[in-house]
Chains A and B, each alone.
Chain A
Amino acid sequence: QKEVEQNSGPLSVPEGAIASLNCTYSDRGSQSFFWYRQYSGKSPELIMSIYSNGDKEDGRFTAQLNKASQYVSLLIRDSQPSDSATYLCAVISDMRFGAGTRLTVKP
């Protein structure tokens, strides 16, 4: 059974801090990884994608991928209360999502 694991959280950070969200996957052949944000009562929305080892930055968001360690992470800099949501890691080849990490940013 292919697995996508996320740190269970919940994670609470103060406004302006860096939030770090982590995900590991079991399928070594996986090529494409996505981070989704899901607000309570809403559907998941795509915020970041990453395919190559290293970092990918988009505004306050940075996705990091290490295929050797089968590890992908999402960093949110200068966290805002509006970032409070559940963040889901997805591995496209598996079509599976992690259980999600609930992030709360406290003003």
Chain B
Amino acid sequence: DAGVIQSPRHEVTEMGQEVTLRCKLISGHNSLFWYRQTMMRGLELLIYFNNNVPIDDSGMPEDRFSAKMPNASFSTLKIQPSEPRDSAVYFCASRRRGMNYGYTFGSGTRLTVV
């Protein structure tokens, strides 16, 4: 089992540029979560999907953020245009449906917007 795979691991971009973060789920997992982690705010839930369908995007900070899940194994998180305050580590996590299953996290993408 390859685990949750995120790319890129690091991204440095200039303010105003578009950023796309990618995530591949573990086979058999049908829920996907995007989190953002900063020192100030900890681990924040941005959006989650069940069976490719977005369920709750109330954590998405603004319209500059969008997420898609075009198939059962892949998701993207896009920021357009990016701003310095978007600098953070973005984690993707997946899990099986059911309350007794925990999250498996990817390695994260460290985003720096200059």
A residues neighboring B (CB under 8 Å): 31-32, 34, 36, 42-46, 49, 51, 88, 90, 92-93, 95-100
Quick one: closest A residue to B4, CB to CB? A43
Against A, the Cβ 8 Å flags (1 = close, 0 = not) of B87-114 are 0000100000001111111111000000
B45 near A90 with CB under 8 A, answer no
- Looking at the complex, which one of A31, A34, A43 makes contact with B91 (CB distance below 8 Å)? A43
A51 near B43 with CB under 8 A, answer no
B99 near A43 with CB under 8 A, answer no
B residues neighboring A (CB under 8 Å): 33, 35, 42-43, 45, 48, 56, 91, 99-108
B42 near A95 with CB under 8 A, answer no
B107 near A97 with CB under 8 A, answer no
- Looking at the complex, which one of B43, B104, B107 makes contact with A46 (CB distance below 8 Å)? B104
Nearest 8 A-B pairs (CB), nearest first?
A43-B105, A99-B42, A32-B99, A97-B43, A46-B102, A34-B102, A31-B99, A44-B105
